[in-house]
Amino acid sequence: MADLETNPLGLTFTNRFTRDLPADPIVENTRRQVHGACFSRVEPTPTAAPRLIAHSAEVAELLGISPEHVATEAFAAVFNGNLVTADMDPYAMCYGGHQFGNWAGQLGDGRAIALGEVRAADGSFQTLQLKGSGPTPYSRGADGRAVLRSSIREFLCSEAMFHLGVPTTRALSLTLSGDDVMRDMFYDGRSAFEPGAVVCRVAPSFLRFGSFQLFPARDDVDTLRTLVEWTIRTDFAHLGAPDDGPVPNDIITKWFAEICRTTADLMVHWMRVGFVHGVMNTDNLSILGLTIDYGPYGWLEGFDPEWTPNTTDAGRRRYRYGNQPAVAHWNLVQLANAIAPLYAPDDASGLSDEEAEAAFREQVRPLQDAVDSFATRFDTGWNEMMAERLGFSGLRADDNELFGELGRVLQLVETDMTIFHRRLADVDVAGATQATDDALVAAIADAWYVEPTDEQRGEMATWLRRWADRVIADDRASGTAADERIAQMNAINPKYVLRNWMAQLAIDRSEAGDHDGITELLEVLRLPYDEQPDYEDRFFVKRPEWARERAGCSMLSCSS
């Protein structure tokens, strides 16, 4: 592996994470339990033939990487892991977490290696992390690699979510490694070689809830405090923590309360666009309220609150679409439990066990208050979002009933969520009262996967009339013109989302050597709210029947 004195891409590395936080003292890249450290230094493992097949021009611009640099062999070598320069400080993070509701102990970056932190063109700090770049001390029995299919999905979804306005980590590049990787896609004993790939992920921080859970689980409160205080001073400087000395509990509480707020806001965004994460383990929730770790995710096609894209979760459906806010709340409780030891009274001497316990409960009460605020924040945000996507300028007391009834009628017959909400703006509101049922539902009829019965059609028409009456009254009261309302609805209800079957078609082409499908999808997803008539016939359509049960087009496994 080459080691250059200067960075060939013009990046400026700052590496505050490895400079300031405790490191694993063992330098050998062996699988092991790591104690008292936030990370282990480890370099990516070089591969046979790095080749860039896609990149995000917006992320490159954010980082200050010119198009000329992107076109160089050094770009592919750096962001595949074959070229580490002297100013980088590669590492894998140490963390734990709850997986599917059960404590899993140490997890860590098993196939992700951060090259380091850079100062971006806008002055922000961004960490560059390679996913699929080789084994780390946290890989357990795995090889630390990623395959092309999952890497395409992560690359496209990271950028799709950003352009939808959903907080997310970003993706700079997608490279083929030149090596084949053995995977058992369905965990059924049919392992096969697949092309390997590496995604460069970009975020201000990759810290997640699980980063703070591992240390108290090991009674290592000192390292927990070090990480919490560093995180607050580094990523939450606006909270006003002192530059030196302990961070007081009231600042820690403000930090945790902000995490509760941004997580609630993230859930509103997910529910708005119909995104289902699929693996909402505590190690997969970001402390910055970003969507992180794109594994077996998916978008609702037929509206079904019980749907999950994860085959591993098919039985319990813990991470189903409709349960995501509740899981986020549960995960926040686990984070509160993890940082609670920081609130222990400094001096409990002379107190009985009961008195000490009561004093501790009083100290951590603000954490409980912050957790409790999550539901209010989410409920308020969800109601405001629903009002906006239905074209209302504000909320009325009876709107919750209207929202709930919509959820019911969308499930009377399999109805595409994205198409329905986009087509709703085309309904003739002024003529709704006099229109026949058939005429009224015509605008949204292409959202149905099967032909509804007359009764089902009638129930949808009844809801549409109620909605139209509400819209007309709202428009009159607010002075909103019809074209203004339609523009508002189209600005929040996307036309184009990364449906699993679309991603799979791009994967099929890429595995056959044609990577243009990735670039084309990326172009469409950059403007998800625009009409884009050249793409409408292919990308604003319901899931084709052939994709209903095909692997990769509906549910997916964690195998990558």
How far is residue 94's CA from residue 105's CA, in Å, rounded to a whole number?
Answer: 11
Locus of tokens 């109601």: 383
How far is residue 94's CA from residue 220's CA, in Å, rounded to a whole number?
Answer: 13
CB 491 within 8 A of CB 272: no
Q: Which residues, other chains included, contact 229 with Cβ-Cβ below 8 Å and sequence gap of 6+?
A: 241, 246, 247
CB 38 within 8 A of CB 205: no
CB 136 within 8 A of CB 153: no
CB 130 within 8 A of CB 229: no
- Active site (annotated) includes residue 283: yes
CB 8 within 8 A of CB 72: yes
Burial class (CB in 10 A: 0-12, 13-18, 19+), 468: buried
How far is residue 419's CA from residue 438's CA, in Å, rounded to a whole number?
Answer: 18
How far is residue 177's CA from residue 48's CA, in Å, rounded to a whole number?
Answer: 6
User: What b/e readout covers 167-191, taking b as 16+ CB neighbours within 10 angstroms?
Assistant: bbbbbbbbbbbbbebebebeeeeee
Q: Which residues, other chains included, contact 368 with Cβ-Cβ below 8 Å and sequence gap of 6+?
A: 336
Measured at the alpha carbon of residue 322, what is the angle toward residues 386 and 525, in degrees to the nearest 5?
65
Q: Fill in the amino acid letter for 327.
A: V
Nearest to 21 by CA among 43, 40, 38: 38
Q: Which of 24, 89, 283, 293 is catalytic?
A: 283
CB 324 within 8 A of CB 271: yes
β-strand partners of 116: 128
Q: At what angle do helices 417-424 and 482-492 cross, to 10 degrees?
A: 160
β-strand partners of 103: 98
How far is residue 412's CA from residue 460's CA, in Å, rounded to a whole number?
Answer: 9
User: What b/e readout covers 224-236, taking b as 16+ CB neighbours within 10 angstroms?
Assistant: bbbbbbbbbbbbb
β-strand partners of 130: 113, 200
Nearest to 529 by CA among 494, 499, 497: 494
Q: Label the pairing between strands 102-106 and 96-99.
A: antiparallel
Longest dimension (CA), the chain: 79
**3-state class (DSSP) for residue 178:** strand
> Catalytic positions, please?
283
